[in-house]
Amino acid sequence: MREPSAVFVQANPSDGFVAPSRGGAEVSWNDGTVEVTATRISRVALRWSERLPADALILGDAWERSYGELQWRHQQPERLLPWYFLVHSSAGTFGMGVDVQPNAFCAWTVDGDGFTLWLDLRNGGGPVHLDGRTLTAAVVRRFEDAGTPWQTLNAAVASLSTRLPARPEPAPVAGPVAGPVVGANNWYYAYGENFDEKAVLKDASTIVELADGHPVKPFSVVDDGWYPGGVCSGGPWDRGTPGVFDDLAGTAAAIKAIGARPGLWFRPLLVREASALASKGPHDKPGRALDPTYPEVLDGIGADLRRFKDWGFELVKHDFSTYDVFGNFGPAMGSRLTDDGWQFHDPTRTTAEIVLDFYRGVRSAAPDLVVIGCNTVGHLAAGLVDVQRIGDDTSGRDWERTRKMGVNTLAFRLPQHNRFFTVDADCVPCTPQTPWELNARYLDLIARSGTALFLSIDPAARTAGIDRALRDGIRLALDGGTPGGIEPTDWLTNTTPNEWRAGEDTVRYGWTQPWGADPNG
């Protein structure tokens, strides 16, 4: 593989970029493996000179979840492209990227004269203290044309995950599975409020009824709001809300008795009261976001996961950790990632190393649980979560949000499915506030894709006709989707593709509500 034409380093976040020798660092390149040796360092930039075709369209990924922004776009030199990029033109398609689980936050910029890889090695908002340690920062790969842009992206993603263990085949067994992952989730009709054990058991009964005896058992996930303190308020995670969820082991057992597999949501890096183990980073809840470089924090998370398993839950969804580490969601991270001037308790590891160790801690503490990462960094979580929420929230109140977030992320991140993890484009809502005609199309798309399918079914929205559509979609998803998979065929020109190849068929969806249509189908 061709080595970069130029390399620069930045010692402190406020410094300019200079040659490695001037920056007190050594950067080595060995057939794509980038190693960095330094005392203190913040970033490394590697530049390749290569003239791009004038008609080039460029695609990249996102730091964590995507937020409806993924698209092919003409040259925009300042556009940050996390993890990998593709360039497509009349001359063909090529690109570059870094292997999953790198020890740096890696992003690209592309211009008419070439492309630059930016390796963010910082610890929080300051330089990492390597103190002479040699860090393998990333493994870089180049992708060549594989026939079409879609085939090239699939081949690219496959090449970036070759070091991961092979994904298991879908199976209706207990424990982590690659898929089918199908179930109920109450968030998009309850939104963390006004639900209790009775409502949770109703959800379990609904999903089992609609699965209609399929041999693969569906999940029933108790999402945010089951614990004291209110929505998104943080731990400790040792009890449910008194008078509402007094016996979570009993709740899990009741879900199993109905015929579903119980799941539980939690926010591992936030507590309700100020803690001595808190991060010094930016946050709207100062003193309550935990610093994962304290061993006690990882020990506590491990104890939480073992408790959930002892209660009888088979799936755990962990959420908000990117926000709790950086003080930002993906769109606000940009090239800075987080505010300057703060560091973790342990300054000797890069932020990427710290996040990886956190994910590895979760995985090792939950070997027999299906782990869903939400607001987790997909390129780091690959191989360490079973299921990854690849896009921001859909909605049981606003269809436009489901279109923008759900359809977009599935179209542009579907190649990650069963390579990095089982992808989850987020729930299909079934609520009186959103048009069922359009939700039904989203259900059909997710079910055909063979990716994770979760549904938020408001009991007030059910009708005989809606139940038939739900049953058909759920059973197709439990079967593993359309043989041969699906592919967006107008994705070069549409951020929420309308036309999809599904096996040997072409399916055309309309994602905007027809004028005068009954909003509930």
Q: Which domain holds residue 41?
A: 6-160
275 vs 289: CA distance, rounded Å: 8
Q: Which residue is listed with tokens 């360039």?
A: 87
At CB < 8 A and 24+ separation, what contacts does 10-15 make?
Answer: 10/41, 10/42, 10/43, 10/44, 10/45, 11/38, 11/40, 11/41, 11/42, 11/127, 12/40, 12/42, 12/126, 12/127, 13/42, 13/43, 13/122, 13/125, 13/126, 13/127, 13/340, 14/340, 15/42
Task: Count structural domains, the chain.
Answer: 1
Is 141:33 a contact under the CB 8 Å cutoff?
A: no
Q: How confident is the model at residue 174 (pLDDT cuts 50, 70, 90)?
A: very low
* Residue 169: predicted pLDDT: 54
Residue 318, in any domain of the structure: no
Task: Name the residue among 325, 263, 261 with its Cα closest to residue 290.
Answer: 325
The 8-class DSSP code of residue 415 comes to: G
Residue 209, in any domain of the structure: no
Residue 104, in any domain of the structure: yes
428 vs 431: CA distance, rounded Å: 10
Pairing between β-strand 6-10 and β-strand 182-185 as defined by DSSP bridges: unpaired
pLDDT digits (tens, 9 = 90+) for 234-292: 999 999 999 999 999 999 999 999 999 999 999 999 999 999 999 999 999 999 999 99
Q: Give the largest CA-CA distance in the chain.
A: 72
Residue 22, in any domain of the structure: yes
Q: How confident is the model at residue 521 (pLDDT cuts 50, 70, 90)?
A: very low
Q: How confident is the model at residue 1 (pLDDT cuts 50, 70, 90)?
A: confident
Burial class (CB in 10 A: 0-12, 13-18, 19+), 104: buried
Is 188:439 a contact under the CB 8 Å cutoff?
A: no
Residue 278, in any domain of the structure: no
pLDDT digits (tens, 9 = 90+) for 314-367: 999 999 999 999 999 999 999 999 999 999 999 999 999 999 999 999 999 999
pLDDT digits (tens, 9 = 90+) for 5-46: 999 999 999 999 999 999 999 999 999 999 999 999 999 999
192 vs 431: CA distance, rounded Å: 15
Is 4:29 a contact under the CB 8 Å cutoff?
A: yes
Residue 454, in any domain of the structure: no
Percentage helix, strand, coil for the chain under 3-state DSSP, each rounded to 5:
25, 25, 50
The 8-class DSSP code of residue 74 comes to: S
Is 387:424 a contact under the CB 8 Å cutoff?
A: yes
Residue 145, in any domain of the structure: yes
Instruction: Tokens for 41, please give them.
Output: 């360092």
pLDDT digits (tens, 9 = 90+) for 406-440: 999 999 999 999 999 999 999 999 999 999 999 99
DSSP string, 175-198: S--SS--EEEE-HHHHTTSS--HH
Residue 271's SS3 state is strand
- In this prediction the pTM is 0.96
467 vs 457: CA distance, rounded Å: 10
* Residue 172: predicted pLDDT: 43
Residue 260's SS3 state is coil
Residue 15, in any domain of the structure: yes
Task: Name the residue among 197, 362, 232 with its Cα closest to residue 292.
Answer: 362
292 vs 32: CA distance, rounded Å: 30
